[in-house]
Structure 1
Amino acid sequence: MSSEPRRTLTAAVVQASAPLFDTQAALSRAEALVREAVGERGAQVVVLPEAFLGGYPKGLDFGITVGSRTPAGRELFRRYHAAAIDVPGPEVDALADLTRELGCHAVVGAVERQRGTLYCVALHFGPDGYLGLRRKLMPTAAERYLWGQGDGSTLPVIDTSTARIGAAICWENYMPLFRTAMYAKGVDLWCAPTVDDRDAWQATMRHIALEGRCFVLGACQYMRRDALPSDLHPVQGDAPDTVLIGGGSVIVSPLGEVLAGPLRDGEGILTAELDLDDLTRARFDFDATGHYARPDVFTLHVDESAHAGGVGG
C-alpha cells in the first residue's frame, strides 16, 4: 500500500435562490452562503446556481407572443435589466473581496448587463479575487428573448495548482462539442450551475463525470413563489409555497458515483471530500481528449476570439 499522502479537496454546492429583482439581497445571500460553506463546512471550492445574482424568472412570459410584445412585458424586462450586474462592478468586487478573505474558490451564477443586452454568466473567483467569467453560449428556448449568446472568448478553465476548474451553465451540458472543448482544456472540477430540476438531469451529471473523467459539481436553484414580487403571476400559481424550481444539486465522482445528493425539497449545502487521485485512476482506461481521442479521425476547431454582439469580458 502506498504511503503517499492523499490529495484531497472539499467541494460544496449550494442549493438556494434570492428574491427576484433585489440585487442587494441576492449579493448578501451569496456572501452568507459562501461564508457558511467555507467557514462551517470547510469547503475550498463553492458553486452557486445559475442566475443567482440577477435572478431566474421561472414561470414569467414577459408578454411575448410570436410577432408581438406588450408594454407590460417591456416594463418587466426593464426591471430585470435593472437587477442585473455589471462586470466589473460592485457585486463582483464584493465577492472578490470575500474569496480573498476566505482563501477559497467560488463559481457564482449571475446575469450580466452590457448596455441593452443581458448574458447568463458563471463568475470565477479565487484567493486572488475575480478571475474571469463564462458567458452561456446558447440560451435555452424562451431564455433567448432575455439573454444574448456568448462566444468562444469566455471559455476559461482556471488552474488552481491543485485542480483545474471549469463551468458549463445548464443546457450547455448537453452540447457535445462544448464538452469536448472543455475536456481538452483539462478540466478536473466540472461546475454545473443550473435551474434544471428534472430527475433526468441526474443522468446528465453522471454521464459528464464518466465521459470527462472529472468531478461534477451540480448546483441547482431551489425557488418558491414567495421569492417573486407579489405583482407578478407565474404560470405555476400564486400560492406562496408553490415550488418554481425544485433543486436536485449533486456531486459526482470521475467514475460516475454520486458522492452527495441529489438534494430535494428545500434549500441546503452539499459537501464532499474529493480524492484528487481519483482523476488519474479514472483516466487509466478512458481519456476523451487523450489516449481515447483518435485525432487521426476526429478534430475539433474552437474559435476563441470575441465577436461583435458577444464581446468577451
Structure 2
Amino acid sequence: KEEEEEMEEEEEEEEEENDKKKVDEVKKPAPKAEAPAAKQEVAGDKKDQSGRPRVFFDIAMDGAPAGKITFELYSDVVPRTAENFRALCTGEKGRGRSGKPLHFKGSGFHRIIPGFMCQGGDFTRGNGTGGESIYGETFRDENFKMRHEGLGTLSMANAGKNTNGSQFFICTGPTPHLNGKHVVFGKVVSGLDVVKKMDRTGSNSGRTSKKVTIRDCGQSSGPKGPSKKAADDSEDEEDEDDSDSEPPRKRHKGGGDMGKGKDAKGKGKGKGKGKGKGKGKGKGKGKGKR
C-alpha cells in the first residue's frame, strides 16, 4: 500500500513537472521571423521600362506655375523625330541658323483650340510663323506608323509633306483625320490634368485667355540620341491621303492663320509675296504651314 502511494506521488510530481514545462513553453516568445533578404535589384518604375526617353515641360499660365507634363518619345519608331524633340527640350544643340537657342524653354503655346489641340514650339518668332529643327530649318517625314489616338498624342505640325521643324501639338480630342499627314512621335505619360488646364484657355480662333508658356524643360530619363539600329530602320513614307481635312498647320510667314481642324479653312490676312500652300483664304510670305 505504501508502495502504491509512493508511485502515485511520483506520478503526480511528473504530471506537475510536465504541466509546468507546457506553461513555460507557452510563455516563451515565438522565435523572430527572419527578415527577407534584400533583393539585389530594385524594381524600377514601370513607366520607365520601355527604354524610351522621357522629357518634361514645366508649364506656366500668366507667369504662375501650372504643373508638369511628362512625355514618352517613340525613339524606336521615329528616332530622328524623337531626337529632334528631345534635344529641343534639353537645349544641348546650342544656337540654330536663326541665331536663337534651339530650346523650347521660355517659348509659348501660340494656338489652343479646345477639344482639338495645343500647338507650340515656335521659339524663334512665337506666333506660329517660325521655329527650326536641330537638323536645319526642316526635315523629312520619317514615317506614319504611329496613329493619332486622341488626348495626349504628341505630333508634329508641318507645312505639308517633309517640312517638319520644331512646332508640335498635343491632341486634346480625337484627331483621326490627321493620320498619314503628321508624324506622331510621343505621348503624355503624366500631367494630362495640366494639358486639360491648357485646353480650357483656348478658343475657336486659337487665341488663349492666358499666356501659356514652357517655363522649364529637359530630359527626365532614358537614352540620349537614337540607337544606330533604330536610325537605320527608320524609313520615309509617302503621304497618300488626299482628303480635304485641314490639320494643324504652321502659319504663313506673312501672318495667315492655320486651319482649325477637320473641314476647317484658314482665315489669315497676312500680306506678302508668294502663295501659301493649303486652303487658307489669306496670303502670306513663303509656304503656308500645316
TM-score normalised per structure 2: 0.26
Structure 1 or 2: larger strand share? 1
TM-score (normalizing by structure 1): 0.25
Structure with a larger share of its residues in helix: 1
